[in-house]
Amino acid sequence: MADKLVKRRSSMKAKLTTFSAYLNVLKSCDNLSNLQIIELETRFDKFNALYTEFDELQTEIEVSSDKPDEAYATRDQFEQQYYSLVALARSLLPGTDGKSQHRDSTGSEATVLGGTKTNFVRLPRIDLPHFDGSYQNWLEYRDTFISLIHDSSCIDNINKFHYLRASLKGKAAEVIKNIDFKADHYKLAWDLLCERYDNSRLLIDKHLQALFEVAPVTSESSVVLRRLIDTTSKNIRALKSLNEPTEHWDTIIIYMMSVKLDATTSRYWEEYRNTLSGKPTLAQFTTFINNKADLLETLEDNNKHINNNNKQKSYAIVSHGSNKNNNTSINKNITNINKNKITCPMCSRDHLLYMCDSFKKLTIEERKQKANDLKVCTNCLRLGHDEKRCRMTRCKYCSAKHNTLLHMERTEPAPIQNPMPSTSESIALSANSAANIEPCTRSFVLLSTAMVTAVSGSGERCEARILLDNGSTANFITDKLCNKLRLSKDDTRSTITGVGNQTSTSAQSCNLTIESINGDYSVTDASISRLERYQRVECIKQHFWKRFNIEYISSLQQKTKWPASTNGDIALGSLVLIKDKALPPLCWSLGRVAKVYPGSDGVTRVAELKTKRGTIRRGFNNICPLPL
């Protein structure tokens, strides 16, 4: 049945092509004779009936097609060619704008009737709006669909029903899924959809929730600031269209948004606010943020321009020899540098020494010996200078002036009498060796992983690797695995708090089963009530707090008693307790070192700390580092 319909449609396309060829012949004629005009009028009348026949046939194909998008594309292509030929045919007929049998001596191509001339401009195609059941997008979808489809008198109900089904996704499509596809049922489907989502109370709640859950601005960024204003303005406009008195909410909205700003922008806003004679309005707040975003965008563009210019500047290559008087400075353009092929001094390939696989396979002692033999800088592993003149990054483990590949933990040599010690002797030897190792300035956390089988609700199975974190109270899945298992996603709004009180939001959730690869058991939800979970958390909290109080708070150290390995400095990102003479040690607040300030003598005594209340500066004698 479907093949016959497609063949009939192909026949109609052939008629379209034939009429196009006929019009091209007439278009090439300077003047049309009366016989040609009569023939054109006869063909044109018959051609007009072609679209009605095509519309009925194409509708049958679209109803029975499994791929309606392809059918819609075919209709669009046919209609474009059809209307183009209709316009050309009318321009060739006498009495219309365009080409006629009577032309003036100037050779004018068009006849202007009534002293006016119409310019036909092809406007861009307007795509159908899509709606997935999110209340925040309902108002925009409803108004757009009504304007384009619902109120159009040129579209019959069966085609309106087509467009309605094609524009709905997810939960919204489920609302009208069981309605029979008939022209009379279009109004029923539209009314049912409006009844479900045109709920003023739920719409107001969703838009208010979106205002309260706007993501905070963690750093100065034009993109993030504009997103803050756009999200706020969008939800305010939606609430106003729902007859909410948003014109009286300026003070509340300004406070809600100002607490989301980063520390620098918040300070500038308070300074600007103090210059105002009265209470600030939402329009003034929006203008301030937009001006701030414009400034940041300009600075970001300038920085990119400067960086691009720096790449085109010449570089000074200094050759350091044993005789200081023989040091030479040679300026080379970057194009010349690119011509000089980078060669590894060890394997003679086109890479640097620290990227050489042969060099990485050596032991640390062999690497040091090899670096000395090759006469490369032990800090950056490059030729041309030594570590004293090197300005590259130091070792990331101990901050000493050597490359990370040459870092070695220093231990006291311990005599080993028995080359093959027993288990108990090995344990004692390991303990003695560990005691002799100096404490590292940085700590690392290793999390275990496991291979499991993930199973979706429809039975789709896939092997996946999971990261096990005993301190996490939530489970996360990547979009890639979720799409691979074809999991259905539910719209949720969850706030995720990580280390350092850093927060983010999750907008979707899904359900799946995790099974062991080597066993027959699977992970299931434990039946634990909310009260029992709360009691367990409180018990664990008290346990850790007691240990923290006994093992650390009672022995808070001043700067003069810090371990000698730290050299009196605190690494960036370290957690510290901020001393407060008005509070007991148990109530001191936490902070994270964001920046340190060395004095004129090169000794660092002041640190910039990031706390939950903002950024502050404290001297080293007023902070206590946590032993993490």
Given a contact cutoff of 8 angstroms between Cβ atoms, the answer to whether 451 and 463 are in contact is yes
Between the alpha carbon of residue 200 and those of residues 126, 195, 238, 425, 476, the distances in Å are 28, 11, 11, 75, 33
Residue-wise DSSP of 107-166? --S---STT-------PPPPPPP-B-S-GGGHHHHHHHHIIIIIT-TTS-HHHHHHHHHH
Measured from the Cβ of residue 123, the count of other Cβ atoms closer than 10 Å reads 5
HSE of 519 in the Cβ direction (CA atoms, 13 Å)? 7
- 245-286 confidence digits (pLDDT tens): 888 888 888 888 888 888 888 888 888 888 888 888 888 888
Adjacent-strand bridge partners of 506: 494
Q: What angle do CA 112, 19, 41 make, to 5 degrees?
A: 55
Domain boundaries, the chain: 2-92, 135-198, 203-311, 315-406, 449-525, 556-625
Residue burial 417-455, b: 16+ Cβ < 10 Å; e: rest: eeeeeeeeeeeeeeeeeeeeeeeebeeeeeeeeeebebb
**For residue 388, how many other CB atoms are within 10 A of its CB?**
9
DSSP 3-state assignment of 344? coil
- Could you give phi then psi for residue 81, rounded to 5 degrees? -70, -40
Question: What's the rounded Cα separation, in Å, for the pair 143 and 310?
Answer: 51
DSSP string, 362-412: S-HHHHHHHHHHHT--TTT--SSS-TTT--S---TTT--SS-GGG------
- The DSSP H or E segment spanning 210 is helix 200-212
What pLDDT is attached to residue 487? Answer: 86
Q: What are 558's two structure tokens?
A: 């001043």
pLDDT tens by residue, 291-308: 888 888 888 777 766 666
Chosen CATH of 556-625 out of 2.30.30.140, 1.20.120.160, 1.10.10.10, 3.40.1190.20: 2.30.30.140
Q: What is the 3-state secondary structure (H, E, C) of 435-501?
A: HHCCCCCCCCCCCCEEEEEEECCCCCEEEEEEECCCCCCCCCCCHHHHHHCCCCCEEEEEEEECHHH
Rounded to whole angstroms, the Cα distance separating 63 from 11 reads: 20
The predicted structure's pLDDT at residue 608: 92
Name residues of the chain where pLDDT drops below 70.
1-2, 95-126, 304-341, 409-445, 498-502, 519-533, 547-569, 627-628
Sign of the Cα pseudo-torsion (582, 584, 587, 589, in order): positive
